[in-house]
Amino acid sequence: EVQLVQSGAEVKKPGESLKISCKGSGYTFTNYWIAWVRQMPGKGLEWMGIIYPRDSDTRYRPSFQGQVTISADRSISTAYLQWSNLKASDTAMYYCARPSAGLDDAFDIWGQGTMVTVSS
Amino acid sequence: EIVLTQSPGTLSLSPGERATLSCRASQSVSSNLLAWYQQQPGQAPRLLIYGASRRATGIPDRFSGSGSGTDFTLTISRLEPEDFAVYYCQQYGNSRTFGQGTKVEIK
């Protein structure tokens, strides 16, 4: 079964750093892009960026560039989303998702989501 | 960035009724690369439609997508109880953006 399994919920303080993960299984991880999507409480979906694990080619939505870092470790089939200086406004559910084939494809596989809460 | 505007914001209907959801783009969507997703409370989104009109694997045929250019529609021919949810459109032809969502609620 093709699936993406994300790391568990996190509670952090403003200014702290954080790295959440998304592990792919049931398919060849390096053959597919992995995207990250934010959903703030009670709000809609926002595409943040995408990475190709084979060569780490990474594209960011301009509004997220410099705010987060997307990376991948192909040896363990895992993609990451990282913050170095969390803000309260980073509180959200974060999903990883996989386009069905190439870069220009819809997301047919989604992780279960990681809830990140940033509060003093 | 292409802005997607979904309407209405909320649709109040009864089971068995037809639902028509709209997604309008601020500029033409390349190659009709537009998808629709369903999100139930507390769950991840699920792909329903891609390429504007192609049903994803396992999606019932009561869901259909249509449209081209800047105007797209998701139709649910007869609402089942499990169809009451939030629906998002997404364009993936020019980077990616999502619409703000349409909630289909029980009347």
At A104 the pLDDT is 81
Partners of B10 in the β-ladder: B103
pLDDT value for A101 = 84
Q: Give CA–CA dist A51/A79, Å, rounded.
A: 8
Select from A109, A42, A53 the least CA-distant residue to B86: A42
Query: Which residue out of B6, B36, B94, B96 would a mutagenesis test of the A interface target, given it has the greatest number of A Cβ atoms within 10 Å?
Result: B96
Q: Per-residue pLDDT averaged across A55-75, rounded?
A: 96
Closest CA to A97 of B45, B1, B82: B45
pLDDT tens per residue, range B54-98: 999 999 999 999 999 999 999 999 999 999 999 999 999 988 999
DSSP A36-75: EEEE-TT--EEEEEEEETTTTEEEE-TTTBTTBEEEEEGG
Q: What pLDDT is recorded for position B61?
A: 96
A3, A36, A45, best to mutate vs chain B, most B CBs in 10 Å: A45
Q: What is the pLDDT of residue A114?
A: 98
Mean pLDDT for chain B overall: 97
Laid out side by side, the sheet with A78-83 consists of A3-6, A18-25, A78-83, A69-73
**Which of A112, A114, A109 is CA-nearest to residue A33?**
A109
